[in-house]
Chain A
């Protein structure tokens, strides 16, 4: 269905360009609307919704009041592989969310050092420590075999989700 849509878009753009040669090319927008001024922002509500520090500050605060959730060098000048890193990160975040279901207190931070992939997570003490260790061993092994590089998990546990404020 996606390919037919693309073809239709191309057809439409060709048609529109032929119809109006001097005009700017306006193409059909086929994805869902993702407004950049609504991304990663939790809107203020009645005051009963608890948010963590990470959730409370908006994306324009990154670099000022927030750090980065994913740290790698492929965004530097002359380095490549940024897109692959992003896809890997998305997979890793979903994997962590699913494997440690309900235990994540905050977003997972992913750091790359050399070929080592370090996943830093803060967990709620929902499971017994030995169960946590089991899941850590499982995740490390599975992800190392999947991405063909050593994967380490650095985990910290808190009793409750750390609330920054209520919105």
Chain B
């Protein structure tokens, strides 16, 4: 009883109104069912994004991926999870059924398959229905056409299956704009004798919706000239096209004509027809026109602004995608668009906006510093950054830009803000950061950066660590800095020796050993440096002469004669050409006993 009261209070905190109890105390008490687990998970992911530290975020992400793995198993082998122990049935704990329920050939079955996005099954059922003689209503046929044209004649669920040939499609979803063209041609051959055209031909009275679905499908999958011929069919049948059709045709326009002015004339023609048919253009129209203008070269630049002002007159606010297109049209001349950043905060087009944001930094690279400031403004709009992958691309480019262009204080400010809470920088970015520090002579920040590197797991990258060591060893700094460097160096040494759980991940090179020892010497840590020297022998690396000289000076300051002699013996052991000079130095500077001589 007590635990049910606690359960109710807990649920009221989450915000749900009914509780689930299938107690093993008794079967008699029944309460309404609620998917408490799912509510908990959503709460957790929300908290993660807002308040957890980065390590906790990493852990909760791994837990989430474990859950996804379990879900995959549950949905792939549902027969083991069918047995229902729960007294009030808990639907969220059953495996997801993706099979169609209604078996017999009827319109309702067709609608169901369309809803579940099973393209092949839907088309087969449609054919079955037609053969059986039952007529399918125009609405349902239109929905079927929509589905086919959107999904391009194959089942969309196939994209989720991790097959080998689908790796490009996975990459596609991340780099939509880059790979889309390649993918379109992948499906181009299918358009010729595919189901969409066939079903369309079977329609006795196609209406606007059917034409529009067909034209949009054609444009999406690259059959541009066919799209235009279908459009002329539509006009011949004296039907009106709707705004979506026109958008699709405008997108298709640059593909069918060669020269810039022909393209532009075609677009103007389409827009005029749109006005005649009294179809109101919308935001997508604006974006389509701007996108087409990108392909029009110089003509695009002159036409872009009038287009925007006309659209504004029709009270269509330009969205993020429109600005991106504008920038793409104009960026070569280096004239940034003024006054964007405030408007950027407003209207956002969900469909095309996000996939174009990743292109933005690309354009930014060639341009002046002011553009970078605008990028910074965009950087504050975290909602724009679609999924994590795009985010990481964005931040990588952002950081490299910052390293190149800004001075070190601004760089550090952004670094503190973003790392490691929002973004885990890659090792290249860390290297850029180190170089930036180098150019600005802020090498005293290196120990902090090293801590970050360790935390992010880059400590096993050979070149990064070596570069760090070289930077530390290069010049002489003041005392505290040297101390902190020495701490850092000892830390690095530990990494080299034990690695991760006993596995040695890094191998010593001569350069890194030398750098390490020089850092330790500069901080007057003679004992540690002495131990490090022994490592030369064990790892078969040869010390350099300056190192030995430095060591000798250090030893002389401390006045340890034995060590000096040992040093000479070591260099003799390595057969260094410096050995006679060292012997001379030792003889001059120290007072040796007979034996040592």
Task: Apart from A74-B24, A114-B3, A141-B71, list 4 A-B contacts with CB within 8 A.
Answer: A133-B66, A138-B66, A148-B86, A149-B86
Return A12 CB to nearest CB of chain B, in Å: 37
- A41 within 8 A of partner (CB): no
B84 & A137 in contact (Cβ 8 Å cutoff): no
Residues of A within 8 A of B74 (CB): 141-142, 145
Q: Is A131 interfacial (CB-CB < 8 Å)?
A: yes
* Residues on the B chain within 8 Å of A148, using CB: 22, 84-86, 90, 93-94
Give 13 A-B contacts (CB < 8 Å), ordered by A residue: A113-B3, A114-B3, A129-B59, A130-B58, A133-B59, A140-B66, A141-B66, A142-B70, A144-B37, A145-B70, A148-B22, A148-B84, A148-B93
Identify which of B73, B84, B85 contacts A142 (C-beta below 8 A). Answer: B73
Q: How far is the CA of A135 from the CA of B67 in the complex (A)?
A: 9
Interfacial residues of chain A within 18-76, with CB under 8 A of chain B in the complex: 72-74
CA distance A13 to B7 in the complex (A): 54
Question: B332 interface residue, CB < 8 Å from A?
Answer: no
Whether B280 is near chain A, meaning CB under 8 Å from some CB there, is: no
- Shortest CB distance A160–B (Å): 14
Contact A114 B4 (CB under 8 A): yes
Contact with B along A73-97 (1 / 0, CB 8 A): 1100001010001000000000000
What is the interface size of chain B, counting residues whose CB is below 8 A from a CB of the partner?
A: 35
**B407 at interface by CB-CB < 8 Å:** no
B36 and A150 contacting across the interface, CB-CB below 8 Å: yes
Q: Determine if A115 and B81 form an interchain contact, defined as CB atoms under 8 angstroms apart.
A: no
Are B24 and A112 touching (Cβ within 8 A)?
Answer: yes
Residues of A within 8 A of B93 (CB): 144-145, 148-149
Identity of the chain B residue whose Cβ is nearest the Cβ of A112 in the assembled complex:
B24
- In the complex, how many angstroms separate the beta carbon of A131 from the nearest chain B beta carbon? 7
Cβ–Cβ contact A146 & B80, under 8 A: yes
Counting chain A CB atoms within 10 Å of each CB, the highest count among B26, B67, B84, B95 belongs to B67
The complex places the Cα of A81 from the Cα of B24 at a distance, in Å, of 8
CB-based contact B67/A115 at 8 Å: no
B contacts, CB < 8 Å to A:
3-4, 7, 20-26, 36-37, 58-60, 62-67, 69-71, 73-74, 80-81, 84-86, 90, 93-95
Chain A: number of interface residues, binned into ranges? 20 to 34
For A146, give the chain B residue with the smallest CB separation: B81
Verify A115–B63 contact, CB threshold 8 A: no
Check A122 for interface membership: any CB of B closer than 8 A.
no
Q: Are B24 and A133 in contact (CB under 8 A)?
A: no
- Choose one: B25, B26, B63; the contact of A134 (CB below 8 Å): B63
Q: Which of A115, A137, A138, A146 contacts B23 (CB 8 A)?
A: A115
Residue of B nearest to A138 (CB): B66
Interface contact B22-A133, CB-CB below 8 Å: no
Q: Contacts of A149 on B, CB cut-off 8 Å?
A: 22, 85-86, 93
Select one of B7, B67, B73, B90 contacting A137, CB under 8 A: B67
Task: Look across to chain A and name the residue whose beta carbon is closest to the beta carbon of B73.
Answer: A142
Known: A141-B71, A142-B73, A145-B81. A134 touches B24 (CB 8 A): no
Residues of B close to A147: CB separation below 8 A: 85
Q: Is A109 an interface residue (CB 8 A)?
A: no
CA distance A131 to B63 in the complex (A): 8
Q: Are A138 and B67 in touch, CB under 8 angstroms?
A: yes
Q: Which residue of A lies closest to B75 (CB)?
A: A145
The answer to whether A137 and B25 touch (CB under 8 A), given A113-B3, A129-B59, A145-B93, is no
A120 within 8 A of B: no
Flag whether A110 is at the interface (Cβ < 8 A). Answer: no
> Given the complex, which residues of A lie within 8 Å of B26, measured CB to CB?
79
Whether the Cβ atoms of B66 and A134 lie closer than 8 Å is yes
Q: Are A138 and B36 in contact (CB under 8 A)?
A: no
Cα–Cα distance between A129 and B59 once the two chains are bound (Å): 7
Whether the pair B65, A134 counts as a contact (CB closer than 8 A) is yes
Q: Which of A74, A85, A133 has the most CB of B within 10 A?
A: A133
Which residues of A lie under 8 Å from residue B21 when comparing CB positions? 114-115
